[in-house]
Structure 1
């Protein structure tokens, strides 16, 4: 059987924490990555399978959230790398040398997304200040501000080049809508998502994809307000999408998976589990290899080409790492679990029916394991040990067997997901023996938040743990900043 599935190519190490953005350097199939370690990095292929880190870009003073590569032009013959961050700045670099050329300033909050209009000198940016901006790279100034969203803008794209729909820009935001702009004027609103719109990708000059915190991906035509198609399969926030070809695209999610989709079918063709807690970003190289950035600082690259695939030893080690992870049922990895209703391991003797199919096996004594069907190898692959159950439903609880939750090498009674107004889930670990204000202060320091949140976070901890014991958790978990139930 021909290999039509993606396999691990390599892993890249260098970032110290979350890789929030990855972009393709199309000239040589390189990668630019941005991280919460306040750096962006340029990676270049070093041999048939791996990459080497060439340059570390250190001009931001806070998290790097967005990256963009712009091919060479008459004005910028070396091409450009552009980065945006929590310091509200946009830094522009020579793609060839990695030298800082200039900084664009004007956004009043975090710069959350970047893209460009092909065959022009126009850069597009979006921000938590609820606006999109259009910049002239030649004049180094903002030439237009797109104001229309009521919450943070998370994604912005151009629908074409200078000869085809170059005057159409799309923005997606935390107000759940997508706005179409023609000649910088609002001409269309696309409604259908029920939560924050995280990423947009143009399929062609007339159609585009969107993904959302509502766990779905949608397909649209710019000339119609009606959604053409909905892709379902992810079990948590979908953070990023990337077009691989005219027939295929990729998506990544809080559910720790990379999924491959056919444009014309609504079910994913392949599901690849990652050992990292969150998969933030995805891009595709010109050779159709797929790059993803993860919350543990690693970058993973997957390929269909057998000549670029990792060794069997490397793949085995990767699968073993996935098998040894724990899956929290209420963080959206697999959905709810009712242990008594699960089959025993005899169920693994029966082949799966589709690529990426998951099942949970009751191993006895409250021990549950998760498996995923690998259609290529015709086998069930263990993807982790499941903790949590449908009978104890608060976010971040201990398991049904009294196990604590492992977070960054330590065990906690709770690991809450806290969303700020910008819809970025942050982990808040807590033990019932801790002081709420001390835990809140640690959380603020960890994520470089304003001190004004101290009382709110401490009260949040108290409200969601008051009177609880480990196996009894309230189902009315709420977030102090948004008032939402998370997951």
Structure 2
């Protein structure tokens, strides 16, 4: 396991570059995001350790980060002042652009992944999600319908113009961006939903993670009940991620200080529990280039890179 420590900054989100297997970014906040500024860390994984390539400061906490899918140097962050920052990792002078239409904290940003689509989505405490054209630097539409904070907004990796969002109102929603309408609203949990993610192998399957300590796997063709409910965390689930290498494997991190790995196709779905942090674990990602490699970040001021042994034993899904 490799560890990078950045004192006085508490990790909220981490993401591996889609272009470079050794490059990752971490969005952090001072004073646990309650007050103070934020810092974007651009890190490089080396053979024996992790080093800081560049850091960028912002005047409010940074709560999420996403890499551009068409430029290896561009990143986007969401901040506590309601703004979105577009950064160039090769330019140390500050953000290329600041987009501000949200009226409260931006808690989620995600870059579209489908071919021919270059769009950004953001989710905010103002109960809305917004779709942006990052090249023209303008908001294309505002998605309204949630009755609570929008904690998570994720583009479908399969369907152009399709977004999933998770909210404090307990619903998972699927949106048609072209029509700017909600196509599906699922009352997925009894508590706030802090995260959602799409399966990389099935366009109909998503997972949600909630303050009720459960993960629910959903098939959009039958939303009367989840495919399965995964139990094991003892506090709120902060982030969920499907594996890019396995159809039924996913990861979750929690305020219970743990990261857990699951295979929802198994009778005993919990594969592994890792307790290598001393504070809330908020950020989590799989390395798209290195099978079974995972990165996470925590309020304990560390980013960790590792390969869980039981993931390596699992067989990859067929493409």
Q: Please classify the TM superposition score into its range, dividing by the shorter chain length.
A: 0.7 to 0.9
Cα-to-partner distance string for 1:355-386 (whole Å, 9 max, x where unaligned): xxxxxxxxxxxxxxxxxxxxxxxxxxxxxxxx
Alpha-carbon distance between aligned partners in 1 of 2:135 and 2:264, rounded to the nearest angstrom: 35
Alpha-carbon distance between aligned partners in 2 of 1:68 and 1:3, rounded to the nearest angstrom: 29
Greater per-residue strand proportion: 2
Question: Counterpart of 1:258?
Answer: 303
Alpha-carbon distance between aligned partners in 2 of 1:27 and 1:105, rounded to the nearest angstrom: 28
* Aligned length, in residue pairs: 256
Give the RMSD, CA atoms, in angstroms: 1.8
Is 1:88 the counterpart of 2:127 in the alignment?
Answer: yes
2:104 maps to which of 35, 57, 62:
62
Which structure's CA Rg is the greater one?
Answer: 1
Unaligned runs of 5+ in 1: 267-487
Question: Counterpart of 2:43?
Answer: none
| Larger relative contact order (Cα-Cα within 8 Å, sequence gap ≥ 6) | 2
Alpha-carbon distance between aligned partners in 1 of 2:276 and 2:169, rounded to the nearest angstrom: 31
Is 1:212 the counterpart of 2:248 in the alignment?
Answer: no
Question: Counterpart of 2:53?
Answer: 9
Alpha-carbon distance between aligned partners in 2 of 1:262 and 1:72, rounded to the nearest angstrom: 28
Question: Counterpart of 2:239?
Answer: 199
Report deviation, 1:170: 0.3
Maintained 8 Å contact 1:45/1:52: no
TM-score for the superposition, normalised by structure 2: 0.76
Decide whether aligned partners of structure 1 residues 109 and 124 sit closer, same or farther in structure 2, where only a CA change above 3 A counts: same
Alpha-carbon distance between aligned partners in 2 of 1:264 and 1:97, rounded to the nearest angstrom: 44
Alpha-carbon distance between aligned partners in 1 of 2:51 and 2:88, rounded to the nearest angstrom: 20
Question: Counterpart of 2:147?
Answer: 108
Decide whether aligned partners of structure 1 residues 3 and 169 sit closer, same or farther in structure 2, where only a CA change above 3 A counts: closer
SS at match of 2:95: strand
Maintained 8 Å contact 1:181/1:188: yes
Unaligned runs of 5+ in 2: 1-45, 312-319
Maintained 8 Å contact 2:120/2:133: yes
Alpha-carbon distance between aligned partners in 2 of 1:73 and 1:188, rounded to the nearest angstrom: 31
Cα-to-partner distance string for 1:421-448 (whole Å, 9 max, x where unaligned): xxxxxxxxxxxxxxxxxxxxxxxxxxxx
Cα-to-partner distance string for 1:285-304 (whole Å, 9 max, x where unaligned): xxxxxxxxxxxxxxxxxxxx
Alpha-carbon distance between aligned partners in 2 of 1:254 and 1:5, rounded to the nearest angstrom: 20
Is 1:176 the counterpart of 2:213 in the alignment?
Answer: yes
After the TM superposition, list the runs of 4 or more consecutive aligned residues in structure 1 that deviate by more than 3 angstroms. Answer: 71-74
Report deviation, 1:51: 7.4
Greater per-residue helix proportion: 1
Alpha-carbon distance between aligned partners in 2 of 1:22 and 1:252, rounded to the nearest angstrom: 12
